[in-house]
Structure 1
Amino acid sequence: MIAMQYSFVLPADYDMAIIRRRIVEKGSMTDDFPHLAFKAYLSSERGDAALPSLENLYAPFYLWRNEKGMNTFLGGPGFAALCQAFGRPSVRLWPVWQASLNPELTEARYATRELLAIPSGADLDAWRQRERELALQDARHGAAAAVTAYEPAGWTAVRFRLWREKPPVAIDGQIYAVGHMSVPAAVVAEV
């Protein structure tokens, strides 16, 4: 599996209603995209007291079953239209260590993302096991999905969670509103 995210930092005075409307209008286009486990349409708004953010962001997060689906999407008309509207973003990719999805995945309304530096000399198997335990703990605290992945070029890890309710724990990262969840029917049947 591959985790993927790109992010658009929008001007401080940008009307985020445009992004919310775009998500409503275009969100269903990836609902049954081949090889997709899920796509979370994420945004955050500067000055939003409920979800504090320093920036206006549009930052979809994807979980791909394999590179075939990811390559089809990145080379396809939907991503081309996004690039036309906002410019071509830098796309971050992480091989997945673990992904836990539960039936409430489609009901997610919030997301959290933490980026973590993996220390030089860290025992990667121990790190992965610790992340697995944290994911199970987050699932017990209401996470609808828990994905942990890593990027070996810069030795970072991403801890991504989807929540039905506002996250019950403080995080050292970004909190997003989920505007739409694309989850193919086959994935819903699996979880």
Structure 2
Amino acid sequence: MIAMQYSFTLPADYDMAIIDRRIRDKGPMLDDFPGLKFKAYLSARKGDARTGSRENLYSPFYVWEKDEGLSNFICGPGFAGVTESFGWPQVKTWVVWHTAISPDIRDARFAIREIVQMEPYAPLAEIRQRESDAAAGEVTRGEALASVAAFEPAGWTQVRFRLLADLPKDVLGPSVQIYDVGHLSLSDAG
């Protein structure tokens, strides 16, 4: 599996109702998209006390079953429409170590994404096991509706991504971004 995210930073005075409308109108277009495990349509508003965002953001997050689904989307009309509206983004990708999804995933209202820089010569097998266990445990214990643990070896970062019904306390940090979930596109299995 492959996780993917691109993000658009919008002006401070941008009318975020435009993003809400875009998500509402275009979100269902990726429901049951071939190869897509899930897509979370994410946004954050500058100054929102719930999320602590310093910027207005539109930042969809995807988990793909295989690279073919990602490639078909990036090369297709949906992504072309995004780039025509917002510009050519840097697309981040991570190799997924583990994805856990609750049957209640549709109740997600918030997402938390944390990107962590890995230390040189880190014990990758240990980190993979620990992060995979943590992702699975969060869903099993009902702490998250979905949890993804992944890494990318080009810059040696790992990503922790969670979908939640409610925000826990004390989640802010320098590597943490909190989003509102506007829509979830799921595969038939999701």
What code does the residue aligned with 1:177 have? D
Counterpart CA distance in 2 for 1:136 and 1:83 is 34
* TM-score after normalising by structure 1: 0.94
Deviation, 1:134, is 2.2
Give the alignment partner of residue 181 of structure 1, picking from 178, 181, 184: 184
Counterpart position of 1:80: 80
* TM-score after normalising by structure 2: 0.95
Q: Which digits, 9 at most, give the CA deviation of each residue in 1:50-93, with x for residues without a partner?
A: 22100000000000000111111001111101100011111001
SS at match of 2:100: strand
The more displaced of 125-134 and 165-174 is: 165-174
Q: Which digits, 9 at most, give the CA deviation of each residue in 1:103-156, with x for residues without a partner?
A: 011221100000001101110011111112322342225201110110101100
Distance 1:30 1:104, change over 3 A: same
Counterpart CA distance in 2 for 1:156 and 1:147 is 14
The count of residues paired between Structure 1 and Structure 2 equals 187
Query: Which contiguous aligned blocks of 4+ residues in structure 1 show a shift greater than 4 angstroms?
Result: none
Counterpart position of 1:105: 105
Is 1:135–2:130 an aligned residue pair? no
Counterpart position of 1:10: 10
Counterpart CA distance in 2 for 1:176 and 1:63 is 17
Counterpart position of 1:170: 171
Counterpart CA distance in 2 for 1:171 and 1:47 is 14
SS at match of 1:143: coil
Counterpart CA distance in 1 for 2:137 and 2:169 is 12
SS at match of 2:104: helix
Counterpart position of 1:71: 71
| Structure 2 unmatched ranges of 5 or more | none
Q: Are the aligned partners of 1:148 and 1:157 in contact in 2 as well (CA < 8 Å)?
A: yes
In the TM superposition, 1:14-29 aligns within 5 A as 14-29=14-29
Counterpart position of 2:53: 53
What code does the residue aligned with 2:163 have? L
